[in-house]
Chains A and B, each alone.
Chain A
Amino acid sequence: MRGGPENETTTDERHSSRVAFEVNGDRRELTLDNRTTLLDALREHLGLTGAKKGCDHGQCGSCTVLLDGRRAKSCLVFTVTVDGRSVLTVEGLAGPDDLSPMQAAFVAHDAFQCGYCTPGQLCSARGMLDEVARGWPSAVTEDLDSPPELTDAEIRERMAGNLCRCAAYPHIVAAIRETATAP
């Protein structure tokens, strides 16, 4: 693991588990070392390299996926814990030949430079808009008793878990705002 001691190897089946879960609508079954994070399972075992490994410590957000519809950092989730659950990655946001409205807005607003954080931004934004639709407040919501209004300040606070080292933040906010307010 980056930033930590080397993995100790194991071939012991006591330290492995059979895991079945849904990824982008397809049922997948894997036998994995219990140490395998969801991020590593997606990238190294399922060939889904959309979710990115940035810090691998839950700080940068580039590994964000939707777990049972809720945004989560896949680098902090052991795959063995998602048995029976459903995962949506950036690959599942739209078909192979089209873009989701959020993806199209990111293109239209030039909401990235290198693009490494973009899959995490897209999944996080999708989960974030669902949270707003459910009426969840944020740290910058003034009135806890009223449904939140999606101001730019709200978007910034709610997207604080996704870093962009190219600092495309103003364009990311614009793309999310456009998606949220689209008819």
Chain B
Amino acid sequence: MRPFRYHRPADVADAVAVLAGEPHAAYLGGGTNLVDLMKLGVQRPELLVDVTRLPLDAVQELPDGGLRIGATVRNSDLAARPAVRRDYPVLARALLAAASGQLRNLATTGGNLLQRTRCVYFQDTGKACNKRDPGSGCAALHGQNRDLAVLDWSEQCVATHPSDLAVALAALDAVVEVHDADGARDVPLAALYRSPGTHPERETTLARGTLITAVRLPALPAARRSAYLKVRDRASFAFAAGSVAAVLDLDGDVVRDVRLAYGAVAHRPWRAYRAEEELRGRPFSPELAARAADAELAEARPLRHNGFKLPLTRAITVRVLTELASS
């Protein structure tokens, strides 16, 4: 591991200013991903700016019925909040389906969103990886790619985004509050992540040094009927083979509104707009849910080892919506 300096900023402005002046600095949140990547030699910061003691750890219920979650709120604390459990069960479920108790106690909201792919080629400095080392190639494209993308990948990168939280936030139309040298601004979660394209080393649309300070959830009364279904290779403590976040609002048996997002299929949390379009305004049935998933996955391009993700994603779409419809 490269030696690094350590800075505990006085406030958000100090954190952003210090990062701006250091080309090889990184923010340190819970550290559950970054510390590991530093041990592996994948990330080699010369300065860590520890943001965990900044006053960004509040969860506020907003007057309009929404929720504002500070960037340093730990995953375990967020999942336990009564307002989250009551108003956004999809969010509580996504958090609880991720990692382990010890890791959720450390992991922060902002850090979770900015965690790196668990593609094994990215994590192995002996392998070609355009995300880690731009221009070196992608060993995953024709390697062991069972865990990797089926949608929106490029010849340069087939990595998936590993977060469960981000999938739930995609379904909830979350807004990310960020701070950079120009001050504070909002970025819709849908505009936070990038497709890999020819620059997989750029995972988000945020300029280097931008700090996430909070995540805002708009009021969504329908989210009281919501769920997160995650399928993994073992019962617990594993990344998703497939996952779906769903909000379902029925008027009788007609789908008045629906929000769907998939995990483990793409370089970013995948909001399933096409599937939603298929479902909206129609009487709900499991067959309709299957057709909706098929519409969403029509342009999928499975790799050699991950074709199973298509029937899997279809099956969990049908299951989660059918369960929500009968709840």
List 11 A–B pairs whose Cβ atoms lie within 8 Å, in order of A's numbering. A1-B39, A8-B3, A34-B48, A70-B105, A78-B31, A80-B6, A136-B80, A137-B96, A144-B85, A144-B92, A160-B236
- Contact residues, B63-111 vs A (CB, 8 A): 76, 79-80, 85-86, 89, 92-93, 96-97, 99-103, 105-106
Please report the number of residue pairs spanning A and B whose Cβ atoms sit closer than 8 angstroms.
Answer: 126
The complex places the Cα of A128 from the Cα of B41 at a distance, in Å, of 32
Whether B102 contacts A10 by the Cβ 8 Å rule is: no
Whether B103 contacts A135 by the Cβ 8 Å rule is: no
Contact residues on A (Cβ < 8 Å of other chain), bracket:
35 or more
Partner of B6, one of A17, A61, A159, A160: A17
Residues of B close to A96: CB separation below 8 A: none
Q: Mark B99-142, 1 if CB is under 8 A from A, else 0.
A: 11111011000000000000000000100000000000000000
Residues of B close to A10: CB separation below 8 A: 3
The complex places the Cα of A17 from the Cα of B6 at a distance, in Å, of 8
The smallest C-beta distance from A128 to any residue of chain B, in angstroms, reads: 6
Whether A81 contacts B80 by the Cβ 8 Å rule is: no
Partner of B1, one of A8, A71, A136, A139: A8
> Chain B: how many interface residues by the 8 Å CB criterion?
38
Whether B35 contacts A78 by the Cβ 8 Å rule is: yes
Whether B39 contacts A3 by the Cβ 8 Å rule is: yes
Q: Is B308 interfacial (CB-CB < 8 Å)?
A: no
When A5-B1, A5-B41, A34-B6 are in contact, do A71 and B236 touch as well, CB less than 8 Å? no
The complex places the Cα of A127 from the Cα of B102 at a distance, in Å, of 9
The complex places the Cα of A64 from the Cα of B36 at a distance, in Å, of 16
Whether B101 contacts A131 by the Cβ 8 Å rule is: yes
The complex places the Cα of A100 from the Cα of B50 at a distance, in Å, of 35
Q: Mark A59-81, 1 if CB is under 8 A from B, else 0.
A: 00100100100111100111011
Residues of B close to A57: CB separation below 8 A: 36, 39
List the A residue with the shortest CB-CB distance to B28.
Answer: A81
When A3-B40, A72-B106, A145-B85 are in contact, do A81 and B101 touch as well, CB less than 8 Å? no
Of B6, B101, B236, which is in contact with the most chain A CB atoms at under 10 Å from its CB?
B101
Whether A35 contacts B92 by the Cβ 8 Å rule is: no
Residues of B close to A73: CB separation below 8 A: 32, 102-103, 106
Whether B35 contacts A15 by the Cβ 8 Å rule is: no
Residues of A close to B79: CB separation below 8 A: 136-137
Whether B236 contacts A157 by the Cβ 8 Å rule is: yes
